[in-house]
Structure 1
Amino acid sequence: MTVHVPSDRPMPQSQRNVQPYARKEDETAMKTITPVQILEGSITSPACNYTHVVPAVIFSTSGFMGNLFHEFNEIIIPLFLTTHHFQSHVQFIIVDYDPWFVTKYNRILTHLSPYEFINSASNGSVHCFPGIVVGLEYHDNLAINYSDIPGGYSMLDFKQFLKEAYNLKVKTLSKIEQPVLMLISRNGSRMFLNEDEMVGMMEELGFRVVVVTPNRMANLDKFASVVNSCSVMVGAHGAGLANELFLPTGAVMVQVVPWGLEWASNAYFGEPAQDMGVQYLEYKIEPEESTLIDRYGRDHQVFVDPGAIFAMGYYTARAIYVDGQNMKINLVRFRKTLVEALGFLGHSSPTN
C-alpha cells in the first residue's frame, strides 16, 4: 500500500517505508508486518475513487496474535491511545488483515470507529483523506502514560471504555456480595497439578470458585462479563492474566509466579495492575513446587542461577521456565496469600 502526501509548496520528493505495528523494537514481531510506502513532497497523486471526511489510521493485525496479552498490549491499547481523542471520527485501514482478529475485537473496533474497515490487501481503490496516521503509539506493557496522550487519558479511562464496549455492569466490588474467585486453568505448561485440591481450599475460605479453561476464554464477548463479576482472579503467569483489564475496580489479581519468571511476571502483569485500579498479590513458588526439580535437581543452575540460563538466550530460557514446568502448589503457603486477598476485599477467613 502506498500513501501519497502531496505538498502545497515546492519541495523535494521523499520516500520511506513504515511498518504500522506498535512494538517496533521487537524484531521477531516486525518480520511479519507488511510495510506501508509513504511518498511525500511535490508529487502527482492519483485521482480519488473515494473521498472521506474523516482522517484514517493505518495499523497491522499481524505480530504475536493468538495471545491475549500481546493482542491488547500491541494493538488494542495502542489503538485506543492513538485514536480515542478523535471521538469516533476516524476510519481504520488494516494491513495484514486478519478476519479472526476483527471478529474477536469487533466491539472494541466499532466503538472506536463506526466506519467500515478497509482491508488494504483486497481494496485497490484510491481513497483520499483529510489526514492520516500510519502506525500506533506504544507506551509500556498494558499501560497508558496520562501525559503522553491527547486528552490526558489513563488506564482507568481505558477500562471505562471496555465497560462501555462490552456493556459490563459491575464497576466496583460493592455490587458483589459473596467473594467470587476465578481460577484460570491452563494446559500444556505452567499447569496446577493439584488444581482440585486448590479449589477445595478456596471454597473452604468462603470463595465461590469459577474455574475457566482456554476454550471458555476464547469468546471475549461473553467472557468479559464473567471476569467482571469476580472479586479475585488467580492464575499462573501467562496471557490469560491480561483479563485483569475486565475486573471491577478494587478486585484482586493473584499471580502465581513460576520459578525463574519473577521479572516477566512483575513487568507484564504486576506493575500494570495498580494503574487499572486492581489490587495485586503474587505467590512465588518454591523449587519443591516446580516439576523442574524432578528433572534437574535442587542444586542445578536452573535453580541456583536462573540469570545464567537467560544469558544463554531467550529461547533456551523459555524452553525451561515458560514451556517446561508445571506446578504443585503448597496449599498451606498459598492459603496465606488468599487470606490476604480476602482482607483486601474486607472479608475474613473462617478461622480468623
Structure 2
Amino acid sequence: MRAASCRMNVAAILNGLLVSVVAALLWKYVRLSEHTAVLEEELQLTRQSQELSQARIDYHAALLALQEHGTRMVCTGKMHTDRICRFDYLCYCTEAEEFVFFHSNSSFMLPNLGPRRFQPALLDLSSVEDHNTQYFNFLELPAAALKFMPKPVFVPDVTLILNRFNPDNLMHVFHDDLLPIFYTMRQYSDLDDEARLVFMEGWGEGAHFDLYRLLSSKQPLLKEQLRNFGKLMCFTKSYVGLSKMTTWYQYGFVQPQGPKANILVSGNEIRQFASSLMEKLNITTRGGEESAAEEKDEYFVVFSRSINRLILNEAELILALVQEFQMRAVTVSLEEQNFPRIIKVISGASILVSMHGAQLVSSLFLPRGAVVVELFPYAVNPEQYTPYKTLASLPGMDLQYVAWRNMVEENSVAYPERPWEQGGIAHLDKEEQDHILASKEVPRHLCCRNPEWLYRIYQDTIVDIPSLLEALRAIVKTRPNLKKAKPASTVHPGRVREPQCQTSVQATNEAKLTVSWQIPWNLKYLKVREVKYEVWIQEHGENTYMPYILPHQNYTFSENIKPFTTYLVWVRCIFNKNLLGPFADVLMCRT
C-alpha cells in the first residue's frame, strides 16, 4: 500500500511538474509573442520615422525659421464651410492634442478673424459641411515660448491634414474622403504623389485603409501615431481641410437626407477619379482589340450580403435574371472578396443589382450605359434615400437607374430582438414598438438613430421577381450599347457675336423690334446636334421679361412691342437643349 501510495505521490508530483513546465512554456510563449509584437511595432515606427526623415531637412535652419518667422497662414474661401488653409510651420502638441500657431514679428494670418475664428471654427476638417465634430482651430503662443517647450520634431513632407468621416463605411470612404482628397490634391501643385496624408479624427486604420494608401506614395499618418514621433510636431508646409466640390449628398443632420442643393461635380470628374484608382490597382477595363466572343460576353453582377439586409431568394432571383436577359451572372461580396477584385468585376458589368447599402457606391466604376438596380426593404421609400440614384444621374455618368421596393410585408423578415444599431426595437416601450410595427412607410427623419428607419432598413427581403423584372425590362432592353457608349459632350457655347437691334414704328400703337446676331466663335469647330438661341426682352423700368427660344439668328418681334419705348434685350446660345452659353452684353433698343 505504501509503495502504491508513493507511486501515486510521484505521479502527482510529476503531473504537477508537467503542468508547471507547460504553464511556464505557455507563459514564455505569450511573453515571446508580446515581445515580437512590440518589436514589430517598433520596427514599423522606425520605418515610418526613417521615411519621415528621407526628405532631408536642416534641423537648425528649420528651428531658426520657426523661432524667427513663426507660423504663417493663408486661406481660400469666405466661410469655414468652404475654407482650405495653407500653413508654414503649423505645429501639433501631442500632449495637449492641439494645433499651435506660433506668433513672431514675421507671422501672418489671413484671414485674421480675431474671435470670429471660433464662431464656430476656422474651417471644416472633413468634407461633411458644418458638422460640429469636424471643426478645426488652433491655440496661439508667442514664438518665445518655444524655449520652454519640448524640442520640436519637423515633418519635411508637404502634408494634407484632414479628418476621415467614417472610414469603416464604403460610401463615406469614397464620397466624404477619397474623392475630396483626390481633387484637393489636384487643386494645389505641391500636393503631389510625394505629399503625405495626416488623419486627425482619431480612428484606427479601418477596413479600407488600403484605398487611402493609393492616393500617395507615402504611408498616411494617424493621429495616434503622432505621439510616437515627439511631443511637439511641426509641419514645415501643410494644407488643412478638404474641398467639398465633389460631394453630391447630405446625410440629414439638419434636414432629411437628400442630394446637395448645389451639386458642383459631374460624372466626368467622378470617372476621372475612378480611372485613376483603377490604374493604381492595375485594373484594365475591357476595350481595344477584343474578340467577337468577348464583345458579346455581357454579364450582370449581384452584390451578395451575408450578415444583414439579405436577399432571401437570391438564387431564384439570379436564375430569373439569367433567363430574362440571357447574360451570365457574377456574385460579389464585401465579406468574401477584396475590394480591388470587386472593382475589376463591376468595371465590365452591364447591370449591377444590390440591396440599398454602402456597397452601391461601387457603381461609380460601372461602364457607361450600365444599369444600376437598387432594392429597398419593406416600408422604405426609395425617393427618400437617393445617394446612388443621385450618383447615377450626374451628367456624364451615363448610367441608368432603377429602384425596386418591396411592397409585401409578408416578404420581409425583421429582427426586433437585435441591438438597436442593427434594427432592434425591443428596448423601446410597447407603444412605440406597436407604432413601428403598424407603420407602412418610414417617415422622413434626421440622421442617424431613428429606430423605425433602422428597424426597416435591416430587414431581410424575399424579392418579388415578376415585379422586379417588370421594372427592369423597359430600361434594360433600350439601354445603349456598352461598347458604343461615349462620354456625353459637355462643351458649352460661347457668347453670340455682334448682337444688334433695329426698330421701326408703324403706327401710334404698333412697332417692331428686330434682333440679330452671329454664331458663337466655338460653334464652327464643333459638331452639335441641335443649336437654338434664347432671347429675353424686358421693357425698361419693368421687373418681368419675355423669353423666346428661336432656331435662327435673327427675328422680328411685334407682339407686345410698344412705340417710343426702350427695351433691354439679352441673347444667348443653347446646345442640345440644356448646354447654356453666357448672355451677350445687353442691348438697349428704342422703338
Q: TM-score range by the shorter chain?
A: 0.7 to 0.9
1:73 to 160, 163, 175: 175
Q: Which residue of 2 aligns with 1:227?
A: 346
Aligned identity (percent) is: 18
Q: Which secondary structure state, in structure 2, belongs to the residue aligned with residue 319 of structure 1? A: helix
Range with greater deviation from structure 2 (138-147 or 274-283): 138-147
Contact 1:67–1:239 (CA under 8 A) maintained in structure 2: yes
Asked whether 1:50 is paired with 2:154, we answer yes
Q: Which residue of 1 aligns with 2:214?
A: 108
1:140 to 248, 265, 268: 248
Shift of 1:106: 4.5
What amino acid is aligned across from residue 50 of structure 1 in structure 2? F
Asked whether 1:280 is paired with 2:387, we answer no
Write the mapping of 1:286-301 to structure 2, written as runs, cut at 5 A: 286-288=407-409, 290-291=411-412, 301=438
Q: Which secondary structure state, in structure 2, belongs to the residue aligned with residue 221 of structure 1? A: helix
What amino acid is aligned across from residue 174 of structure 2 in structure 1? F
How large is the RMSD of aligned CA atoms in angstroms?
Answer: 4.1
2-structure distance, mates of 1:45, 1:220: 48
Asked whether 1:167 is paired with 2:296, we answer no
Gap change, CA 1:172 and 1:334, over 3 Å in 2 = farther
Contact 2:124–2:130 (CA under 8 A) maintained in structure 1: no
Shift of 1:190: 2.4
Q: Which secondary structure state, in structure 2, belongs to the residue aligned with residue 182 of structure 1? A: strand
Write the mapping of 1:270-349 to structure 2, written as runs, cut at 5 A: 270-275=389-394, 276-288=397-409, 290-291=411-412, 301-303=438-440, 305-307=441-443, 310=445, 314-323=449-458, 325-339=459-473, 340-346=475-481
What amino acid is aligned across from residue 282 of structure 1 in structure 2? A
Asked whether 1:194 is paired with 2:194, we answer no
Gap change, CA 1:188 and 1:5, over 3 Å in 2 = same
2-structure distance, mates of 1:203, 1:327: 20
Q: Which residue of 1 aligns with 2:199?
A: 94
Contact 2:197–2:221 (CA under 8 A) maintained in structure 1: yes
Greater relative contact order, per chain length (Cα 8 Å cut-off, separation 6+) = 1
Gap change, CA 1:148 and 1:306, over 3 Å in 2 = closer
Shift of 1:270: 0.3
What amino acid is aligned across from residue 336 of structure 2 in structure 1? R
2-structure distance, mates of 1:294, 1:215: 21
Q: Which residue of 2 aligns with 1:156?
A: 271
1-structure distance, mates of 2:101, 2:448: 42
1-structure distance, mates of 2:285, 2:392: 18
Contact 2:169–2:358 (CA under 8 A) maintained in structure 1: yes
Q: Which residue of 1 aligns with 2:221?
A: 118
2-structure distance, mates of 1:137, 1:49: 28
Q: Between Structure 1 and Structure 2, which shows a larger proportion of helix residues? A: 1
Contact 1:81–1:153 (CA under 8 A) maintained in structure 2: no
Q: TM-score, normalised by structure 1?
A: 0.76
Gap change, CA 1:229 and 1:72, over 3 Å in 2 = same
Gap change, CA 1:146 and 1:316, over 3 Å in 2 = closer
Q: Which secondary structure state, in structure 1, belongs to the residue aligned with residue 387 of structure 2? A: helix
Range with greater deviation from structure 2 (37-46 or 230-239): 37-46
Q: TM-score, normalised by structure 2?
A: 0.48
Shift of 1:10: 7.8
**C-alpha deviations, 1:113-160, integer Å up to 9, x for none?**
x33433434332533323x322323333399988589xx983232223
What amino acid is aligned across from residue 343 of structure 1 in structure 2? T
2-structure distance, mates of 1:312, 1:70: 14
What amino acid is aligned across from residue 464 of structure 2 in structure 1? N
What amino acid is aligned across from residue 117 of structure 1 in structure 2? P
Range with greater deviation from structure 2 (253-262 or 283-292): 283-292
What amino acid is aligned across from residue 442 of structure 2 in structure 1? P
2-structure distance, mates of 1:70, 1:6: 37
2-structure distance, mates of 1:38, 1:316: 38
Range with greater deviation from structure 2 (35-44 or 186-195): 35-44
Q: Which secondary structure state, in structure 2, belongs to the residue aligned with residue 154 of structure 1? A: helix
Q: Which residue of 2 aligns with 1:242?
A: 361
2-structure distance, mates of 1:169, 1:216: 22
Gap change, CA 1:91 and 1:183, over 3 Å in 2 = same
Gap change, CA 1:162 and 1:300, over 3 Å in 2 = same
Q: Which residue of 2 aligns with 1:212?
A: 332
Contact 1:273–1:279 (CA under 8 A) maintained in structure 2: yes
2-structure distance, mates of 1:10, 1:249: 49
Contact 2:369–2:399 (CA under 8 A) maintained in structure 1: yes
Range with greater deviation from structure 2 (167-176 or 331-340): 167-176
1-structure distance, mates of 2:447, 2:235: 50
What amino acid is aligned across from residue 312 of structure 2 in structure 1? L
* Alignment coverage as a number of residue pairs: 329
Shift of 1:45: 7.5
Q: Which residue of 2 aligns with 1:85?
A: 187
Q: Which runs of 5+ in 1 are unaligned?
A: 348-352
Gap change, CA 1:64 and 1:153, over 3 Å in 2 = same
Q: Which secondary structure state, in structure 1, belongs to the residue aligned with residue 361 of structure 2? A: helix
Gap change, CA 1:240 and 1:176, over 3 Å in 2 = farther
Q: Between Structure 1 and Structure 2, which shows a larger proportion of strand residues? A: 2
Gap change, CA 1:99 and 1:311, over 3 Å in 2 = closer
Gap change, CA 1:49 and 1:208, over 3 Å in 2 = same
Gap change, CA 1:172 and 1:121, over 3 Å in 2 = farther
Gap change, CA 1:118 and 1:260, over 3 Å in 2 = same
**C-alpha deviations, 1:81-137, integer Å up to 9, x for none?**
322233515322222252345742155222xxx33433434332533323x322323
Contact 2:103–2:141 (CA under 8 A) maintained in structure 1: yes
**C-alpha deviations, 1:257-304, integer Å up to 9, x for none?**
22333357652110111223322122222235641699999x97421x
1-structure distance, mates of 2:342, 2:315: 22
